[in-house]
Amino acid sequence: MNQLDALRQWTTVVADTGDFKQLSISKPQDATTNPSLILKAVQKTEYRPLLDAAVKKHSGKPLDEVIDRLLVSFGTEILSIIPGRVSTEVDARLSFDTAATVARGERIVALYKAEGIDTEKRLLIKVASTWEGIEAARQLEQKGIRTNLTLLFSFAQAVACGAAGVQLISPFVGRIYDWYKKSAGSSWDEAANAGANDPGVKSVRQIYGYYKQHGIKTEVMGASFRNVGQIKALAGCDLLTISPELLAELAASDQPLQRALDPKSNGADVAKVSYDEASFRFALNEDAMATEKLAEGIRAFAADAVKLEKLMQESGA
C-alpha cells in the first residue's frame, strides 16, 4: 500500500487544483479551487477555451458575473470527475462585506443549480475567515448553503467558525510554517520544527482536538502544505487538501504511514471559548502571524482576481 492509499484509510483526500485533467490520476474524493489556481489554469493552452467560452457566451454581462460563470465551469468539470464536493471561492475583495459575500455565494449556488448540480451535497462556498466572512457563512448555512472557511490561521478564527456552524474550515499549514520560518531567520532549525513540531501542524492539531473535545461538527481540512512531512503529521485529520505534486509524492512512496490524529485520543483539554466581535478582533490582533497572513492572503487572492478580470477583458468581456 502506498502512502496515499494508507492516508485514505483515515482521512478524506482532497485535491487542491484547478487543473482538473490531473484528477483522474490521484482520484481524490473532493477538490478545492481558489482564484490563484483558476488563474494559473486558464493560462495553460488546454484550459484557455473555458475562459474564451465564458466570455463569448456571456458577453455584455457584468465582469464579476462572467468570472463566477467561469469558476462554475471549472467546478462543473471537476464534479464530473470526482465523487464528492468542490469548493468555489467568493471574490476575496468582498472579505469585509457580509451582505455582498452572501449575495455572491447565493449567485454561485444558483449558477451550479442551473447546471444540474445538487449544491447541498456537492458544493462548498469558500469564504475568507474574517469576522464579516464568518457571519456571511453563518447566514449561508442557515439557508442550506454549505461553506468552507479559508485563510484560517488562528485558534480564534476556528472557534468563531465552529460557533457559526460552518460545514468546514481550511487551516493553512504551510503559510503558518512560512511565517515562523521567516521570522526565525538564520536561527530556524528545520529538523526541530518538522513533523508534529511544525508550527502549522501544531495549529491544526490544536483546532482538531478542541473541536473533538467539545463535539463541534465543523470538519477540519488541513490545507496549504509545503512538504509531505506536514501531511503525514496530520494523517487522520478529517480532510486534507493537497496539491497534485504532493499527491504524486505520496503515491510514489510505499513507506509505512501511521495515523497521527484520532478523534478518540486527540481531544484537547481546553475549556470552551466564545467570542463576540470585539473579543474576536482583539484575539486576532494579538496573533501577529494570523493577522499578517490573513491580510496577505486576501491581498494575493484579490490581486489574482484582478489579473483574471484583465484576461477576460483582453478576450472581449
Cell of 307: 489579473
> Catalytic one among 21, 61, 126, 202?
126
At CA 116, angle to CA 115 and CA 119, rounded to 5?
A: 100
User: DSSP secondary-structure letter at 255?
Assistant: S
- Beta-carbon contacts of 94 under 8 Å, excluding residues fewer than 6 positions away, are 100, 101, 104
Nearest to 121 by CA among 211, 33, 35, 29: 29
Q: List phi, psi (to 5°) of 169.
A: -120, 155
Is 310 part of the annotated catalytic residue set?
Answer: no
- Dihedrals phi, psi of 295, to nearest 5 degrees: -60, -45
Burial group, residue 121, by CB count within 10 angstroms (0-12, 13-18, 19+):
exposed
Dihedral (CA of 18, 157, 297, 131) sign: positive
Residue 3 CA: distances (Å) to CA of 17, 154, 228, 246: 20, 29, 10, 11
Name residue 183's amino acid: S
* Active site residues per annotation: 126
